[in-house]
Chains A and B, each alone.
Chain A
Amino acid sequence: DARVTQTPRDKVTEMGQEVTMRCQPILGHNTVFWYRQTMMQGLELLAYFRNRAPLDDSGMPKDRFSAEMPDATLATLKIQPSEPRDSAVYFCASGSGGAGTEAFFGQGTRLTVV
């Protein structure tokens, strides 16, 4: 059963600490998306990659957030330093990259910054 895997599922950290969230896209998918969901803002696109290259990260706060794909099986989203306003559920999604195809979401990482 192919699925997007995200780790950790839950993370509680103190303000100022570095946080790294990981995503394993579905095998063979070449496009990866990072989303953030909060009660106030709903689901927001932060960044996305195709063939490991960043295509759009305009939704991401540049000063503290960074996203990378070290290889085709791993995408990372880092926050340094973390702040309480970063508390949210972060979702990764992947797709095969073709026009009109669909993206599949992982179960998310629930981040709480205290």
Chain B
Amino acid sequence: GDSVTQMEGPVTLSEEAFLTINCTYTATGYPSLFWYVQYPGEGLQLLLKATKADDKGSNKGFEATYRKETTSFHLEKGSVQVSDSAVYFCAEYRAGTYKYIFGTGTRLKVLA
């Protein structure tokens, strides 16, 4: 069935380092793709999304590009901050399925 695969965590970076968190999807067709972030003790919040191939979602310095040819939606940020420490979830939604599929989450820890 459809699934979303994320890189294993935890990812530990120093402040101002470059971040990449890989995500690939297997849904056929053109699912909508999302990155959600979960800060400690909180629910999930939408970080960014892309709804069609070659779209780039961006928010708070994070970016991800919907790549149909590689079925990927990797999350990047040029310079991470301590406040970016959280768990990041990649997710897909395929119209007509009535559900969003989440990846396993990648924990990011940014050290000062």
Partners in one complex: no
| Chain A residues at the B interface, C-beta cutoff of 8 Å | none
Interface residues of B (CB under 8 A from A): none
